[in-house]
Amino acid sequence: MKKWSTYIWKLIWVIGLFLLTIISFDIKNQIKDSSHFYMIDWTNFIIHFIWGIYISLIFIKKWSIKINLPLLICVSIPCFLFSLIMPLYAFGSWSLKVFSSNLIEIVAGLTWMLSIFNNSNSESE
């Protein structure tokens, strides 16, 4: 039965992926329809940060808190801060390209979760 539970959890994750896609699409459309341009930037940040957290769920094998400080300090926090600053300021055409990709927010959420629940790298060190 334990063997099948792994498959069931992965299928539930895929169903959640579809639900999260539908919900985020609906939220973006509601914000666009309300014509609050400033809200679009913050909504994009929140949605993509949550996407990063959700994607990380498939990589976490054990739910024990063991912080990976280098990943948190060198990747997660800078990505998080940069994605918070970007809706406020534009530093040039390169920053607009980076911000429009929405990858920084996803990486911030993904690495935040992986740095908190780090267990695969710390056991091998």
Query: What number is the average pLDDT over the span 59-80?
Result: 90
Percent of the chain scored above 90 by pLDDT? 40
Calpha distance 78→71 (Å, rounded):
10
Integer angstrom CA distances of residue 125 from 66, 76, 104, 118: 13, 21, 28, 12
Query: Across residues 71-83, what is the average pLDDT?
Result: 91
CB 108 within 8 A of CB 52: yes
SS3 86: coil
Bridge partners of residue 66, in order along the sequence: 117
| Residue 48, pLDDT above cutoff 70 | yes
Q: Assign 68 to helix, strand or coil.
A: coil
Structure tokens belonging to residue 8: 């069931």
pLDDT digits (tens, 9 = 90+) for 13-22: 999 999 999 9
DSSP state of 117: B
Name the more confident of 115 and 95: 115
Residues shown for the chain? 125
pLDDT at 16: 95
Question: Which amino acid, 74?
Answer: C
- Give SS3 for 71: helix
Residue 78: the pLDDT is 93
Q: Is the pLDDT of residue 88 over 80?
A: no
71 pLDDT more than 90: yes
